């Protein structure tokens, strides 16, 4: 009984396979007959049409590849420009004192018994800048081109302030830069240290491998300063701007 069922199943499978092969053979023969029945000029037109489509697809693929290449280059260029702008911004922030910095430099200390005047700190700051200082902080207060050092009234009399903030004692001035050059700039014969010694003030100088300077607490605000923009010369006369012409 089982053998009869296996034989029957095998026979059915063979019949179905024969039907499929027959249908495929007929379809293939039909397609071949349709091609053979076509006129030569129709076949040439079909071949030309397929060739044109293939060429058009190839051109589109080449254009898409070029667009992809251009967009990748544009993205890389934008990335490079962004990094360059970030680096320039960091340099400006360091120069303006709006970013904390660290590095080797010189530490200048005045004891609380030193009769230091505000003008002495101004002179010291200028000497440090002239000796190659890249950043300066007085009593933990960052100094930049807009900083001011002066006296103000206090309970016990006058006190020295930097950017309107009182200094603390012992008074420490930190300057980043080449520590050797900074110290030599202050210890030249007849220089800053000799001048202070003449007034019986003896600052302590220490070269440091790493100093940390904070950012300025209150960035400067400009109330009257405006950007100057050079307008194009529309008058046709060399050396004359549009504003001058309008006047």
Domain parsing of the chain, residue ranges: 15-96, 101-213
Closest CA to 230 of 244, 218, 217: 244
CATH dotted code for 101-213: 3.30.70.1880
Edge-first strand listing for the sheet containing 204-213: 141-143, 135-138, 171-176, 101-110, 204-213
Tokens linked to 70 = 């251009």
Confidence of residue 108 (pLDDT cuts 50, 70, 90): very high
pLDDT of 22 over the 60 cut: no
pLDDT of 50 over the 80 cut: no
Mean pLDDT of 111-139: 95
Mean pLDDT of 233-240: 57
Secondary structure class of 142 (helix, strand, coil): strand
């Amino acid at each position: 009984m089982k053998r009869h069922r296996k034989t029957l199943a095998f026979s059915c499978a063979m019949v179905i396979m024969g039907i499929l092969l027959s249908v495929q053979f007929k379809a293939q023969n039909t397609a071949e007959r349709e091609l053979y029945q076509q006129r030569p000029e129709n076949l040439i037109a079909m071949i030309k049409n397929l060739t044109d489509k293939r060429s058009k697809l190839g051109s589109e693929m080449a254009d898409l590849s070029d667009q992809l290449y251009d967009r990748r280059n544009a993205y890389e260029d934008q990335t490079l420009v962004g990094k360059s702008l970030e680096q320039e911004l960091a340099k400006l922030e360091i120069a303006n004192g709006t970013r904390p910095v660290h590095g080797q430099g010189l530490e200048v200390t005045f004891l609380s018994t030193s009769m230091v005047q505000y003008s002495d700190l101004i002179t010291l700051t200028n000497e440090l800048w002239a000796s190659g200082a890249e950043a300066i902080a007085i009593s933990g207060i960052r100094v930049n081109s807009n900083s001011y050092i002066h006296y103000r009234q206090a309970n016990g009399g006058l006190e020295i302030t930097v950017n309107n903030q009182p200094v603390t004692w012992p008074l420490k001035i930190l300057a980043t830069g080449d520590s050797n050059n900074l110290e030599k700039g202050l210890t030249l014969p007849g220089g800053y240290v000799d001048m202070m010694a003449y007034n019986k003030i003896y600052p302590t100088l220490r070269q440091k491998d790493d100093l940390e300077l904070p950012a300025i607490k209150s960035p400067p605000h400009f109330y009257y300063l405006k950007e100057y923009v050079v307008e194009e010369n529309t008058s046709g006369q060399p050396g004359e701007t549009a504003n001058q012409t309008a006047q």
